[in-house]
């Protein structure tokens, strides 16, 4: 258990830091947007939230550096033991719950995301070592693919708990609301994994095509 904990801490640190702070900025930007022009003024606190959250993408290593750390160090550590352990945990959850019809939107979404994350991981292992530019070019998309998949797993665990509460007769609307939000995530947010996989596997050739003098 200690080894697994250490593996997960090392693997997940750049994912949690980079993925969640990127999403936090997007959430604050959306909050600013819904206020219209007033949101850009001090009449509402949304503009202050936007300024405050922006530093989170820089503190403790910029998110680009966190992504490079993930693909450059954490994936290959101990022969890939941490990420393979994570894949095994996801597979075990899906296998244990695949016959639960109520959980089907969650387990199917998780299985699909995990397959894409594994494909991206294998691509990096094959192409990143041969050409470090491939790893660098793929790093941010890989970090987001990882974050989306990990969050899908968290929603699966939440959904399983909520459904157990409802089945036991708990009438608190909190649980039904959580299930609705979770299904929204699976239906409207998790499909972003497709785009991230396509971008990370496109390689670095085009990204590196411009000469230094062009910048």
pLDDT tens track for 63-99: 999 999 999 999 999 999 999 999 999 999 999 999 9
Rank 34-43, 135-144, 206-215 by mean pLDDT and report only the highest. Answer: 135-144
- Residue 183 included in any domain: yes
The total of structural domains in the chain comes to: 1
pTM over 0.75: yes
For residues 76 and 124, what is the distance between their CA atoms, to the nearest angstrom?
A: 10
Nearest-angstrom CA–CA distance, 89 and 78: 18
Residues above pLDDT 70, as percent of the chain = 100
In this predicted structure, what is the pLDDT of residue 39? 67
Is position 206 within any domain?
no
Cβ-contact 197, 118 below 8 angstroms: no
- According to DSSP, residue 57 is labeled G
For residue 165, tell me if it sits in a domain.
yes
Options 60, 108, 119, 205, the catalytic residue: 60
Give me the chain's average pLDDT, please.
94
Query: Has residue 28 been placed in a domain?
Result: yes
Domain-located, residue 214: no
On whether the CB atoms of residues 149 and 114 are closer than 8 A, the answer is yes
**Structural domain of 131:** 2-200
Q: Is 60 a catalytic residue?
A: yes
Q: Which two tokens stand for residue 125?
A: 């292992």
Nearest 10 degrees: Cα torsion 118, 123, 126, 127: -150
pLDDT at residue 45 above 90? no
The 10s digit of each residue's pLDDT in 163-207 is 999 999 999 999 999 999 999 999 999 999 999 999 999 999 999
pLDDT, residue 46, reads: 83
Task: Please give the pLDDT value at position 44.
Answer: 75
Distance CA 57, CA 59 (A): 6
Q: Is residue 213 part of a domain?
A: no
pLDDT level of residue 212 (50, 70, 90 thresholds)? confident
Does residue 207 belong to any structural domain of this protein?
A: no
Asked if residue 58 is part of any domain, the answer here is: yes
Q: Which is more confidently placed, 33 or 95?
A: 95
Helices (H), the chain: 2-34, 46-54, 63-69, 81-97, 104-127, 132-167, 173-184, 192-200
């Amino acid at each position: 258990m200690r080894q697994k904990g250490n593996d997960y801490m090392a693997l997940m640190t750049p994912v949690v830091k980079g993925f969640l702070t990127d999403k936090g900025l997007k959430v604050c930007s959306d909050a600013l947007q819904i206020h219209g022009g007033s949101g850009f003024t001090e009449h509402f606190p949304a503009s202050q939230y936007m300024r405050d959250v922006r530093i989170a993408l820089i503190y403790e290593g910029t998110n680009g550096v966190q992504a490079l750390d993930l693909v450059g160090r954490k994936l290959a550590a101990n022969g890939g033991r941490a990420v393979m352990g994570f894949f095994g945990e996801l597979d075990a959850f899906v296998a244990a719950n695949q016959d639960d019809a109520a959980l089907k939107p969650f387990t199917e979404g998780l299985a699909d995301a995990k397959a894409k994350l594994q494909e991206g991981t294998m691509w990096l292992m094959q192409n990143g070592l041969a050409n470090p530019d491939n790893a660098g070019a793929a790093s941010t998309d890989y970090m987001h693919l990882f974050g989306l998949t990990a969050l899908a797993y968290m929603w699966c665990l939440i959904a399983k708990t909520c459904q157990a509460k409802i089945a036991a007769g708990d009438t608190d609307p909190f649980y039904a609301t959580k299930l609705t939000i979770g299904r929204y995530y699976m239906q409207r947010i998790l499909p972003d994994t497709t785009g991230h996989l396509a971008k990370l596997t496109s390689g670095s050739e085009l990204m590196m095509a411009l000469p230094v003098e062009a910048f």
